[in-house]
Amino acid sequence: MTSELIRKTAAELAELIHSKQVSAVEVAQAHLDRIAEVDGTIHAFLHVAADEALKSAALVDEALAAGSEPASPLAGVPLALKDVFTTIDMPTTAGSKILEGWRPPYDATVTKKLRAAGITILGKTNMDEFAMGSSTEYSAYGPTRNPWDLDRVPGGSGGGSAAALAAFEAPLAIGTDTGGSIRQPAAFTGTVGVKPTYGGVSRYGLIACASSLDQGGPCARTVLDAALLHEVIGGHDPLDSTSIDQPVPAVVDAVRQGASGDLSGVRVGVVRELTGEGYQAGVQAAFDAAVQQLEKLGADVVEVSCPTFPTGIAAYYLILPSEVSSNLARFDAMRYGLRVDQGSSAEEVMAATRESGFGPEVKRRIMLGTYALSAGYYDAYYGQAQKVRTLIARDFAAAFEQADVLVSPTAPTTAFPLGDKLDDPLSMYLNDLATIPTNLAGTAALSVPCGLADGLPTGLQVMAPAMGEAVMYRVAAAYEAARGPAPTPEVTA
């Protein structure tokens, strides 16, 4: 029974729980057992909250037994939460030594919404430190391994959440996507990851990497599960000034519509600049096959050009470190977190703590951002990057005149071996080439599995205009239905 339960989708589990065929506690226990079985190998979790999870699941069972309606369509379904959202009952570290053991005195809005929806939070997942990285190797607590090949990375920064899904440790997960941190791990692990419109999911309680780019989003093994979760966590939050004051797009309906398999009248734009050179041959082939599949479903496929997209990555690596250098200034050993008592003054203790509490990538980006914002350099770097950002938004706007959604491979390669890019920050950065434009423009995108290349998963990226999630989910659901069940990895302890 256990092995059956963990292979079910969130929608199936919800159905079983709400019809009382299986209890939420059983479902939670099955996943906790799976975590106990494989997470020593995968290391997707930084913290497993077994007692809290079982308690929360029991509350769902009690309410159902008393005849109440489920608190949400996902009530009782377990979830893995990226360790970058604050949780009052679990430590929150953002993958950093500097926050080791920190217990936040408040819940993030996303955390609150999950709790209110009756979703069982199994624990907190591993990530690159402060979400900086594309491999989860920059976690201060050791890397997460890709369930498809334990010698390869699961992608990053949300490698823990994606690996938890692929290894059947959880049917749902939450990630954050600043430059691809939901989508690239989804592609690397053969799971679904959605970066919602900027402002679509509250950032309150999300430990900031780059404020103007960060966006929390749903991760799952199917498009429908992602949509169900999207509707739980989305919506306006008065505690986040950048939150959009509009209803969550009706993505679940869109998925059901898409699953019927008809995409006639939907215009799909293939972004010329995000294919071809630099893309692994198998990745390109899988993508081309997916585009053909969409065409077969009735979509009008056109080629569009977004000439400034290739510059996006340079703009991104100026804007992100600049915001990081400021956002991470608060980690100073004065009020919370690590304090290294070296030196005789607050200044010295701050510098010693930051030096030993931050990892090399975080320090590198803080230094880069400090440089980019300095007097005399601001205009050439940060200011110019913000202009490129405008141009990228204009490219998107022009492309969305010709197409309802844009598509590309999610990442240029499949999962790379552990340690492969650690000493070469630039080649690590180039992995985010296709995902970054969406963050810069604040638009929406997702990654859906689109077949294997050399035995490893690849992702199809579907991009939509701001608040245009419905059509994006529809296209992904139609593709997913036509593609058939995605292959899954074998993970043994």
405-409 sheet: strands from edge to edge:
45-48, 120-125, 78-82, 172-176, 216-220, 192-195, 444-453, 456-464, 405-409, 267-271, 300-304
Q: Is 135 a catalytic residue?
A: no
Q: Which two tokens stand for residue 304?
A: 């569009």
Q: Within 10 Å of residue 288's Cβ, how many Cβ atoms?
A: 14
Of the residues 56, 134, 181, 408, only one is catalytic, namely 181
**92 contacts other proteins (rule: CB under 8 A):** yes
Is the Cβ–Cβ distance between 166 and 149 less than 8 Å?
no
Residue 328 or 450: the one with the smaller Cβ distance to other proteins is 328
CA atoms within 13 A on the CB side of 15: 7
**368 contacts other proteins (rule: CB under 8 A):** yes
**277 contacts other proteins (rule: CB under 8 A):** no
**180 contacts other proteins (rule: CB under 8 A):** no
Exactly one of 2, 9, 257, 326 binds other proteins (CB under 8 A); that residue is 326
Residue 323 CB, nearest distance to other proteins (Å)? 6
Exactly one of 9, 311, 402, 488 binds other proteins (CB under 8 A); that residue is 311
Exactly one of 65, 116, 150, 239 binds other proteins (CB under 8 A); that residue is 239
Bridge partner residues of 461 (DSSP): 408, 447
Site for other proteins in 327-356 (CB under 8 A): 329-339, 341-352, 354-355
Place of tokens 């607050």: 346
**238 contacts other proteins (rule: CB under 8 A):** yes
Residue 381 or 416: the one with the smaller Cβ distance to other proteins is 381
Total site size for other proteins, rule CB under 8 A: 101
Residue 442 CB, nearest distance to other proteins (Å)? 3
Q: Which two tokens stand for residue 83?
A: 């360790």
Of the residues 8, 82, 195, 421, only one is catalytic, namely 82
Exactly one of 106, 427, 454, 493 binds other proteins (CB under 8 A); that residue is 106
**434 contacts other proteins (rule: CB under 8 A):** no
**380 contacts other proteins (rule: CB under 8 A):** yes
**209 contacts other proteins (rule: CB under 8 A):** no
Exactly one of 6, 71, 127, 207 binds other proteins (CB under 8 A); that residue is 207
Q: Within 10 Å of residue 16's Cβ, how many Cβ atoms?
A: 19
Q: Is 157 a catalytic residue?
A: yes
Sign of CA dihedral 261, 264, 266, 270: positive
Q: Which two tokens stand for residue 379?
A: 């205009």
Exactly one of 366, 399, 433, 448 binds other proteins (CB under 8 A); that residue is 366
Instruction: Build a one-symbol-per-residue string for 242-261: x at contacts with other proteins by CB under 8 A, - elsewhere.
Output: x-x-----------------
Site for other proteins in 36-65 (CB under 8 A): none
Residue 332 CB, nearest distance to other proteins (Å)? 6
Bridge partner residues of 249 (DSSP): none
Is the Cβ–Cβ distance between 399 and 365 less than 8 Å?
no
Nearest to 357 by CA among 131, 77, 93, 38: 93
Rounded CA-CA distance 68/71 in Å is 8
Q: Alpha carbon of 472 to those of 142, 305, 345, 358: distances in Å?
A: 35, 19, 54, 37
Single-letter amino acid, residue 397: A
Residue 116 or 380: the one with the smaller Cβ distance to other proteins is 380
**393 contacts other proteins (rule: CB under 8 A):** yes
| Residues with Cβ within 8 Å of residue 124, at least 6 apart in sequence | 45, 46, 47, 49, 80, 81, 82, 83, 87, 90, 91, 92, 93
Which one of the spans 37-45, 283-291, 424-432, 453-461 is the region binding other proteins (CB under 8 A)? Answer: 424-432
Residue 197 or 413: the one with the smaller Cβ distance to other proteins is 197
Place of tokens 């679509």: 200
Residue 187 CB, nearest distance to other proteins (Å)? 23
Site for other proteins in 279-308 (CB under 8 A): 308
Q: Is 421 a catalytic residue?
A: no
**370 contacts other proteins (rule: CB under 8 A):** yes
- SS3 call for 210: coil
**206 contacts other proteins (rule: CB under 8 A):** yes
- SS3 call for 116: helix
Exactly one of 371, 420, 468, 481 binds other proteins (CB under 8 A); that residue is 371
Which one of the spans 149-157, 179-187, 370-378, 474-482 is the region binding other proteins (CB under 8 A)? Answer: 370-378
**427 contacts other proteins (rule: CB under 8 A):** no
Site for other proteins in 119-158 (CB under 8 A): none
Q: Alpha carbon of 326 to those of 208, 209, 234, 307: distances in Å?
A: 10, 10, 27, 31
Q: Cite the DSSP H helix spans in 374-460.
A: 384-402, 425-429, 436-441
**232 contacts other proteins (rule: CB under 8 A):** no
Burial 262-285 (b: 16+ CB within 10 A, else e): ebeebbbbbbebbbeeebbebbbe
**483 contacts other proteins (rule: CB under 8 A):** no
**398 contacts other proteins (rule: CB under 8 A):** no
Of the residues 134, 135, 157, 408, only one is catalytic, namely 157
| Residues with Cβ within 8 Å of residue 467, at least 6 apart in sequence | 197, 200, 244, 246, 249, 444
**231 contacts other proteins (rule: CB under 8 A):** no
Residue 378 CB, nearest distance to other proteins (Å)? 8
Residue 321 CB, nearest distance to other proteins (Å)? 9
The residues annotated as belonging to the active site are 82, 157, 181
